[in-house]
Chains A and B, each alone.
Chain A
Amino acid sequence: MIRMSRVGIIGYGISKFGKRTDASMYDLIWEAGSEAIKSSGVDKKDIDYMVVSNMGIFSSEELAAVVAGEVLGIKNAGLHRVEAACASGSSAIASAYDAIRSGRSKIAIAVGIEKMSEVESETAIELIGRAGDFLWEYEFFGLTFPGYYALYATAYLNRYGGREEDLALVSVKNHHYAHLNPIAHFNNEISVEDVMKSRYIASPLKLYDSSPITDGSAAVVLASEDVAKQYTDTPVWIDGIGSNLGTANLSKRSDFLHIEAAREAAAKAYRMAKIDQDKPYKHLDGADVHDCFSIAELMAYEDLGFAERGKALDMIRNDETYIGGKIPVNVDGGLISKGHPIGATGVSMAVEASKQLLRKAENGRQIDVRNGRFLAHNVGGTGHYAYVTIYSI
């Protein structure tokens, strides 16, 4: 029997997230990628595989992957771009993992990049909205991404007796932690009142229920077990990856109370990492979940098995996802306040997992590392793609 090598993260880097009118796609990739390579200690000549996650439609450069190779001065690596909408970053991690696990690569780099502010907001809203089922959801009905998630929110609040104030609690928590995270898009604390007073984007979701249009990049260097140990005593291992697809057309889902693809992805990741699916949070120290909108964080609690169906409302009302609660969630600020540069988000979750597990998070937002495991939940589109990745030390 061939012994399969584990795969570990040996270096990471992340750019400041925000409306970065000071930085081009090239500059952002340099900020994240050069830091990742430097922190790993590898010579860039030894990187033999490169994968770049980028949705790409927001910015002038069509081929972000070749830009990334040139920016970082990588010359002898295999290269491709991956797209899984908002879960593109996690799909890049999965691709690098597979390349190393198969023995095809020894040292790989995954770079996530999105430069969204090259187009004006109305156009960005249009380009994301078109990522539903174009002919049957967009062409005639002009669905937007807040709109798709608002359809979940209306159904969820109605079914489980939630209020808009409950959704606001997600944004309040995530802004609280973003204000402690120097790379976050937003650095201000907000109150439930602030959220409630913000304007409707797609009812019942308001401006502060929504992730912003963000520029940013994140990168990680990964290596096989034998190679990783030559560079660091503390690689961050990938213990499990689960991914699943969902229907293109939202109306074909069985209900609008959960994201089936995410439930399936979680089950697969837990199985691979040998984590008890009954109370998985007992085996984890924290999680980053895909809170593109406040309602998405609540559904994630349930899809990941942190709460029973309908009970995510109690979790957020009882502060159970703050540090010190049942399981800290999105203590980097989440997509809502750290920002959501689409192709970079999943890679930024790997960066956050590494920082947290290595106890390198900033004051006030460092989780208690006991089990040595951190989960990243990354959903693409309206539940079109889902990735759940489990990191460990």
Chain B
Amino acid sequence: MPEYIAKDEKSRNPLLVDMRSLNIRYRIPVSRIEKFYESLDRGIIMGTKCPVCGSRFFPPQAWCSECGFSGDMEFYPLDTHGHLLTFTRIFAKPKSFSGFGDYTVGIAHLDRENINVLAWIDDAIQKPEVGMEISIKVEKRKEDNATVYFISKP
């Protein structure tokens, strides 16, 4: 057999092991929401508000999907007080998160914004419960040193 043919460990069926491997890293334009990242770096989480109809958006967006306004959306700091709607702890992790320990993801409702935020739940919340009070905080994540927002204690 040529060197690129290998037997599957379980079934012993022959497989051609592809010699062309691909490593993809996307470059995603964020110029229209640049203010969000500038503020995040200062520990503030911004949403956007439509100056015409008042609709609020998180994640922030540079147009209004409700009334169709296309122009300068207003960036404003979110009132991050809210409560936890649901959560899960991820045990079977994807390949690009394989270096992380198990992590807990939740969705929180921000009471005064009527907006939901999906994020990791901070380790400080050891036993998450549906309905518990939370706030959203910006932290440097220790696993990858990334500046991200967490669902955290109020």
Q: Interface on A for B, CB 8 Å cutoff?
A: 19, 21-22, 60, 122-123, 125-126, 129-130, 133, 135-137, 140-144, 146-147, 150-155, 158-159, 199-205, 249-252, 256
Contacts and interface: CB of A to CB of B under 8 A. Distances in A.
Interface residues of B, number: 35
B120 A125 contact: no
A252 B47 CA distance: 14
Contacts of B13: 21-22
Contacts of B89: 200, 202-203
B90 A151 contact: no
B93 interface: yes
B91 A200 contact: yes
Given A155-B85, A201-B92, 10 more contacts: A126-B95, A137-B118, A143-B118, A151-B107, A154-B86, A203-B89, A203-B91, A205-B88, A249-B59, A251-B118
Contact of B8 (A21, A141, A159, A205): A21
B95 A144 contact: no
B119 interface: yes
A152 B118 contact: no
A251 B116 contact: yes
Contacts of A155: 85-86, 130
A21 B105 contact: no
Given A21-B13, A140-B148, A249-B118, A60 B95 contact: no
A140 B146 contact: yes
Which 4 A-B residue pairings sit nearest by Cβ, starting from the closest? A150-B88, A126-B94, A142-B97, A155-B86
B96 interface: yes
Contacts of A125: 92-95
Interface centre among B10, B15, B94, B119 (most CB of A within 10 A): B94
A151 B130 contact: no
Contact of A203 (B10, B88, B119): B88
B86 A142 contact: no
Interface of B: 8, 10-11, 13, 15, 18, 28, 59, 85-98, 100, 103, 105-107, 116-120, 130, 146, 148
A60 B15 CA distance: 13
24 contacts: A19-B10, A122-B93, A122-B94, A122-B98, A123-B95, A125-B93, A126-B96, A129-B94, A137-B118, A140-B119, A140-B148, A141-B118, A142-B94, A144-B90, A147-B90, A147-B105, A151-B86, A151-B107, A155-B85, A158-B130, A202-B89, A202-B92, A251-B116, A251-B118
Contacts of B105: 141-143, 147, 151
Contacts of A135: 28, 59
B87 A144 contact: no
Given A22-B13, A60-B18, A155-B86, A142 B96 contact: yes
Contact of B93 (A21, A142, A153, A249): A142
Contacts of A250: 107, 118
A258 B5 CA distance: 47
Contacts of B130: 154-155, 158-159
A201 B91 contact: yes
A60 to B, nearest CB: 6
Nearest to A153: B88
Nearest to B108: A251
B145 to A, nearest CB: 13
A385 B127 CA distance: 33
B7 to A, nearest CB: 9
A190 to B, nearest CB: 19
Nearest to A127: B94
Given A141-B120, A155-B85, A249-B118, A202 B90 contact: yes
Nearest to B103: A142
B15 A21 contact: yes
Nearest to B146: A140
A60 B20 CA distance: 10
B87 A154 contact: yes
Given A60-B18, A123-B95, A251-B117, A202 B88 contact: yes
